[in-house]
Structure 1
């Protein structure tokens, strides 16, 4: 019998013990904060910022990154307050409450994925519990921590783990389990967007890296700096630069994208950022050309209402809409496109849609941004193709480029991986690779 939804670990640990532990920990942390600051409401951002200012530390924001950076240089007494603030601000544990309200009569959560929820790419969007943004788990003793929380022993949890909210946060994934007598196989595509982008742009050296199961971060750094780079060998220090460049620059990003991706936090200096952008673009000329080929096609289609094509992607205009036809045959739609001006005063394509403020508005765009939509949309179609290929299995969840399969213990991990890695017929020559693991509760391996 086919099942749907994700099953929760029954027994009350996540909807009773985890929530109770978080509430108790929050109260203890709040009491410590009051003792250190003598504030009436230590949870108030304004009061904390004022207290820090009175003690010689001006902070414009108490965001996660800003607090983490400030702790490194703060005097011990201020660092203690900032650490407590960081722990009190942990909001992901509220997902336990969402889980409690999401459990249906069959002990499973349903309706957690909205079809075509991401309107630019057509990807599924997370709903209710939001599996797409669950905290990752990095604890070496994850199962032990899970068992202790399940026992309800708060004193043991607080004794063994310095940060109780963070521990509970990392355990959120583990509340999802297969039904009795089954196991989870979690399989996800490796570097799917980088593979699709390289394939569409015909950036051959990158495709060779993927075809040979190489490390794209090392290969990218090697291409950028003209020296061999090995993960644990020669010029290994350059791999980090290759990684941040790969993550930030594939869709026209520049210095701002590197900063947003945390380049400065990773040890890069301000002076290194623009040369890094230039090096990456120089090493990937076909990708850069792909951006502007798409930009030209979009502009011509919008201005002249004609059909254009580049790199196997078709652009057309009909009834006040621009359509981008993907290799799969699916179309992306853009409402009432026209030429306008972007925030920098340059001419660009604009269209109507839901903006960042969740309001219907006119949105500006350009070649690299359309490339991002195209690549993510094709990646989504590849995932959908994999789900059809594995239709004999019970896929109970999918997160970005990952499938969560609930199956009989006899099902082969290797076979599932092989099936998921099959290339759709509409992207011939694209080499896919899937990483997989099996588990008795959901986790990030």
Structure 2
């Protein structure tokens, strides 16, 4: 029957002449209409085959270029209290561009940008081009002096170095003026991110399509791979269109995005956390962190020696030389020549993944050495060699913080990634020794202790867990005592370690299989641990079940501060995907709330340091940790300030515990 159903009938009496469907040329297929359809459906690979003009919009009729001071003065006089959108277009000489963002770590020079795009009505869309008659400083002065109560833009953080006035107002004596100006800004990228944190990127043409139903040309359509300033010098029309669309879409999408934030209950989160954070991150990026280049070089040399020694040891254990970095050659050595058990054959050879090798490491020294070799090789390439490429002429590294990448609300950093420095192995931790404060300063480092478990206690309302935290008990020993039914003082180190794995595993929705892998125990025993845990803390089980049920009903989870996390996997037809969605639903409200709290702490610490005229500055955030470059004479005051602001960042049923250390390098301070 199945074969009959799947067989194509080829003798149907069709009278249509298929030659009539033949296309005369590719031009008949790759039309403007087809381009718009592919763009709307986000068929990005197909778009590269088209050679048609970029999509046009009626707004283009009102794009105007302004080059004289008289024209500029006339236009600025038209601006009233209604929202005004802008976009700074930097010069090629003093900026780098990455995915449409400008990265600048030093104060911008006087004519730091090539143009300023503004939009404040359907007909008022302008590009001011700087030159002999129009100075960048004058344009920025007009921008801040205009009557508009809301200044709208995208990628604000990358533009802040050019906004000279607000940088000058950041001093303590002008704090109120600074806050007034800071509160005027609306960042469309951040707003779109809050509304859909799974998207990953939020370019102008996507915002236009998703929120306005408009098809407008994107960056690639108008600029290709060049910068705006480069295209401005070669093809002014395309550069004008790009810059003006950026301003126009920021202006036109503002009421829609703002209304959507209100409907989702995230307008307060946007105003009080995410928008002030843009300014904090900008300051942190410009501040940077100092690196001891000589110490970094020495660290790399030590790693090289250790790597060579391990190579020789592995060759001796294998009985021959081979490429340790080649999975294919390594698989042959381990599973064919040495006949190690549990080899998993793939299309390209034996799997040599960390998961496979870790199961063999305890019984086979060569495998343990290979895993150690991989760790050292990664440390050398990523940190010893990698960090050296980012040191500027002042001896500092300026990472780039990303606010609109992670689905949970956590910050990330790149170029370099300072949030991923290993802390579980000593050689990995040692890389922190090369990070040091300026001469005469020291580091003060504070981090939240067990913040996610404390949030679990608060959000679930479980009395036993709350009581354990309030009594400052060793939470893992307390859990072990209750779960394994032994007196608190008789809990063994192994029981405590197992309880710790259960505590943190529960926060991440761990399964019996996952826990069995973590603890190297049977799945039945792992399930017994989980069952016993939920019997001990019944409110946690109720909370997690309720959270998953609500997520299935609404399609999203929420943090205590209203941040949403869509979970499309919950409606998947695939069982494994649905299970993954349930684990995400359990963890997202907790991890997301922790992210919200550290952001609140960052804003409060940053603002107080400036407002109260400290020399010390917040320079780094890594998950639950804040690092302050501190003047020696301010050490005690900064420690008190950090602990006060971090502990009071949230009002919970259990206290937020903060641990603080100091040191003359990041290793000693952590």
TM-score bucket of the superposed structures, by smaller chain: 0.7 to 0.9
Q: In terms of Rg, which structure is larger?
A: 2
SS at match of 1:278: helix
Match of 2:575 in 1: 344
What TM-score does the superposition give when structure 1 sets the normalisation length?
0.73
Change (3 A) 1:325 1:22: closer
Task: Note if 1:221 corresponds to 2:480.
Answer: yes
Q: Within 5 A, what are the aligned runs for 1:262-301?
A: 262-264=518-520, 268-301=521-554
Change (3 A) 1:117 1:430: farther
Task: Note if 1:365 corresponds to 2:581.
Answer: yes
CA deviations on 1:110-159 (whole Å, 9 max, x unpaired) are: 1342113312x1110131332222122665xxxxxxxxxxxxxxxxxxxx
Q: Within 5 A, what are the aligned runs for 1:151-166?
A: none
SS at match of 2:362: helix
CA deviations on 1:214-239 (whole Å, 9 max, x unpaired) are: 11111112222333223xx4555432
CA deviations on 1:347-369 (whole Å, 9 max, x unpaired) are: x69xxxxxxxxxxxxxx623x52
Task: Note if 1:383 corresponds to 2:598.
Answer: yes
Q: Within 5 A, what are the aligned runs for 1:27-426?
A: 27-35=308-316, 36-52=318-334, 53-58=336-341, 59-60=343-344, 61-64=351-354, 66-74=356-364, 79=365, 81-90=366-375, 91-94=378-381, 95-119=383-407, 121-136=408-423, 167=427, 169-230=428-489, 233-234=490-491, 237-260=494-517, 262-264=518-520, 268-302=521-555, 325-328=558-561, 330-334=562-566, 340-344=571-575, 365-366=581-582, 368-391=583-606, 392=609, 393-410=616-633, 411-412=635-636, 414-424=639-649
Cα distance, 1:406 vs structure 2: 0.9
> 1 CA distance for matches of 2:303 and 2:491?
46
SS at match of 1:220: helix
SS at match of 1:218: helix
**Any gaps of 5 or more consecutive residues in structure 1?**
140-166, 303-321, 350-363
1 or 2 for the larger relative contact order (CA 8 Å, sep ≥6)? 1
Answer whether contact 1:177 1:441 (CA < 8 A) is retained.
yes
Change (3 A) 1:382 1:45: same
Change (3 A) 1:50 1:226: same
> 2 CA distance for matches of 1:251 and 1:88?
30
Change (3 A) 1:137 1:221: closer
CA deviations on 1:281-329 (whole Å, 9 max, x unpaired) are: 2112111111222233233335xxxxxxxxxxxxxxxxxxx5x55433x
Higher strand share: 1
> 2 CA distance for matches of 1:272 and 1:285?
20
Match of 2:290 in 1: 8
> 2 CA distance for matches of 1:178 and 1:135?
20
Answer whether contact 1:291 1:371 (CA < 8 A) is retained.
yes
> 2 CA distance for matches of 1:234 and 1:297?
37
What is the RMSD computed on CA atoms of the aligned residues? 3.0
Cα distance, 1:198 vs structure 2: 1.1
Match of 1:155 in 2: none
Change (3 A) 1:301 1:271: closer
> 1 CA distance for matches of 2:356 and 2:401?
32
> 1 CA distance for matches of 2:374 and 2:325?
8
**Any gaps of 5 or more consecutive residues in structure 2?**
1-170, 172-282, 345-350, 610-615
CA deviations on 1:83-127 (whole Å, 9 max, x unpaired) are: 4423432212221222111112332211342113312x1110131
Cα distance, 1:246 vs structure 2: 0.5
SS at match of 1:183: strand
> 1 CA distance for matches of 2:486 and 2:598?
35
Answer whether contact 2:401 2:411 (CA < 8 A) is retained.
yes
What TM-score does the superposition give when structure 2 sets the normalisation length?
0.50
